[in-house]
Copies of this chain bind each other. A is one copy, B any other.
Amino acid sequence: MIKAGIIGSTGYAGQELVRILVGHRETQIKWFGSRSYIDKKYSEVYRNMFQIIENNCLDDNMEELAKQVDVIFTATPQGLCSSLVSEEILSKVKVIDLSADYRIKDVKIYEEWYKLKHQSPQFIGEAVYGLCEINRNDIKNARLVANPGCYPTCSTLSIYPLIKEGLIDLNSIIIDAKSGTSGAGRGAKIDNLYCEVNENIKAYGVTVHRHTPEIEEQLSYAANKEIKINFTPHLVPMNRGILITAYASLSKDVSYEQMKAVYDKYYQNEKFVRVLDKDICPETKWVEGSNYVDVNFKIDPRTNRVIMMGAMDNLVKGAAGQAVQNMNLMFGLKESMGLDLVPMFP
């Protein structure tokens, strides 16, 4: 039985991690960290957990935690995990960081986009980017996993095969992304009030969203060449779900069947990536509550472009589910353990 601790367990991603781990038969949560709610019953913060979780919230003491558990999840604001991690901690416990602190290899890019000084750059090299479908083997041996961002997970998985196989013009990639509101977190802000979000859609962070360099880095690895993209996220009046619609020019003539074969090559053995049937567009509702990413594409011969689409639950495959998938890999468990979540519809 794996003993797990969660730092930041009362954010939406932290709570989703709790939901998933409660159903994971080889894991027990030992530590519900939450600076904001120390000593409060967890089930008073999230009443869906009434009679399910009896624990109180605890402080974010990573050193103490490292003595008590086998794995620490940090579902915290940027900068916190990197300020707490040390060689001593990593020697005792595995760390899965759901923040962005170790996702970007070039510390200058991190500091520029996040407007933060990185507190432990010495661990960036070691940290493995936890996109399981791509870095599976490295994750198995990692001490420190950087759990990918929600938009980067959905974007990278939707585009990756076409870059790997050289089918698209690397200078032409545009990602138009749409996210449910849980992605904005549980902070009390006017912008996220029901009345402000409901019956509304808007773009935000245009040209400056911090997931941009993360996506660019991952796509660049696939291309073996530096890639710059446009990435525009939008806030959608729904709780969960990310949809990305990506555009690129074709670099060679390719039929539907050939492109489908490319996607299948990468994903036919992947449980959590579903390549949909021809002409079926992904919908976020079809993956809600599950760890699936649904992807598909459409070629437009009129403009010689391909439209790539991906749908995902931002809190599951985009955060907590992928974190558990990483944990499973790191501890030699079946990769899908605890993640046999059937999408909930409607």
Question: What residues make up the interface of A, taking CB atoms closer than 8 Å to B?
Answer: 12, 15, 19, 22-23, 46-52, 174, 176, 178, 180-182, 186, 188-190, 192-204, 206-207, 228-230, 232, 234, 236-241, 243, 245, 247, 274, 276, 280-290, 294, 298-300, 302-303, 305, 307, 309, 311, 340, 342-346
Q: A46-B345, A190-B188, A198-B346 are in contact. Are A203 and B236 (CB under 8 A)?
A: no
Contacting pair A182 B346 (CB below 8 A) = yes
Complex partner residue of A47 from B19, B283, B340, CB under 8 angstroms:
B283
Complex partner residue of A342 from B23, B189, B282, CB under 8 angstroms:
B23
A23 to chain B, nearest CB (A): 6
Contacting pair B174 A201 (CB below 8 A) = no
In the A-B complex, the 9 residue pairs with the closest CB atoms:
A195-B346, A200-B285, A48-B343, A202-B283, A194-B197, A176-B176, A207-B300, A188-B188, A48-B286
Contacting pair A51 B274 (CB below 8 A) = yes
Contacting pair B345 A15 (CB below 8 A) = yes
**Copy total for this chain:** 4
With a 10 A CB-CB cut-off, give which of A174, A234, A345 has the most chain B CB atoms.
Answer: A345
Contacting pair B23 A286 (CB below 8 A) = no
Rounded to whole angstroms, the CA-CA distance of A288 and B240 in the bound complex is 14
Task: Return chain B residues, CB-CB under 8 Å to A50.
Answer: 274, 276, 286, 294
Complex partner residue of A234 from B202, B243, B290, CB under 8 angstroms:
B243
Contacting pair A199 B19 (CB below 8 A) = no
A43 to chain B, nearest CB (A): 9
Complex partner residue of A204 from B281, B287, B289, B345, CB under 8 angstroms:
B281
A236 to chain B, nearest CB (A): 5
Rounded to whole angstroms, the CA-CA distance of A274 and B196 in the bound complex is 20
Complex partner residue of A236 from B15, B189, B237, CB under 8 angstroms:
B237
Contacting pair B192 A189 (CB below 8 A) = no
Contacting pair A342 B22 (CB below 8 A) = yes
Contacting pair A194 B247 (CB below 8 A) = no
A145 to chain B, nearest CB (A): 24
Contacting pair A247 B174 (CB below 8 A) = yes
Nearest B residue to A202 via CB reads B283
Complex partner residue of A282 from B202, B229, B274, CB under 8 angstroms:
B202
Task: Return chain B residues, CB-CB under 8 Å to A48.
Answer: 285-288, 290, 342-345
A102 to chain B, nearest CB (A): 23
A302 to chain B, nearest CB (A): 6
Complex partner residue of A283 from B49, B200, B240, B342, CB under 8 angstroms:
B200
Nearest B residue to A309 via CB reads B203
Rounded to whole angstroms, the CA-CA distance of A206 and B197 in the bound complex is 26
Rounded to whole angstroms, the CA-CA distance of A12 and B193 in the bound complex is 12
Contacting pair B201 A283 (CB below 8 A) = yes
5 residue pairs A–B, Cβ–Cβ below 8 Å:
A182-B195, A186-B195, A194-B197, A194-B239, A201-B243
